[in-house]
Structure 1
Amino acid sequence: MAFDRDDATFKVLVNHELQYSLWPADKAVPAGWRETEQRGSKADCLAYVEREWVDMRPLSLRQAMSGQAAEQ
């Protein structure tokens, strides 16, 4: 499987909740996900995810919590 190979090429995907995932570059993007601009080695893609995905909470939770804070 591509995830086990260090020489495989990956792409970084993101979903509507702004959650990120690595995906083999030669595989079709699953429903509910879209490609980012990042492609490359596993290490490069992981570094991109670490830079970009700074808040692990799903977007809907962040928005709900932001709304609660505004109400208080």
Structure 2
Amino acid sequence: MSNPFDDQGGAFVVLINDRGEHSLWPAAAGIPAGWSTAFEQNRRQACIEYINENWTDMRPRTGAGIQPA
């Protein structure tokens, strides 16, 4: 079985968590707890471009109830 994260021709979404972190995610996979859709189903490259344009500060935001280490 091939890895759906590596499927160059597959459909993907962009997820975001409460810390502002983004994730490229296969559209057919379930969305994990704590994440929501930031960019709807599209081509892999379009999702990567969305991430590059919208996640410019790689430092995670401090979310409610999250204490820095």
* TM-score normalised by structure 1 residue count: 0.78
Of 15, 36, 41, which aligns to 2:17? 15
Deviation at 1:27, TM superposition (A): 1.0
Partner of residue 35, structure 1: 37
Q: Quick check: which one's strand share is greater?
A: 2
Q: How many residues align?
A: 61
Deviation at 1:14, TM superposition (A): 0.1
Partner of residue 55, structure 1: 57
Structure 1 portions without partners, runs of 5+: 62-72
Deviation at 1:2, TM superposition (A): 1.3
Percent same amino acid among aligned pairs? 36
Q: Structure 1 stretches (4+) deviating beyond 4 angstroms?
A: none
* TM-score normalised by structure 2 residue count: 0.81
Amino acid of the structure 2 residue aligned with 1:31: A
Q: Quick check: which one's helix share is greater?
A: 1
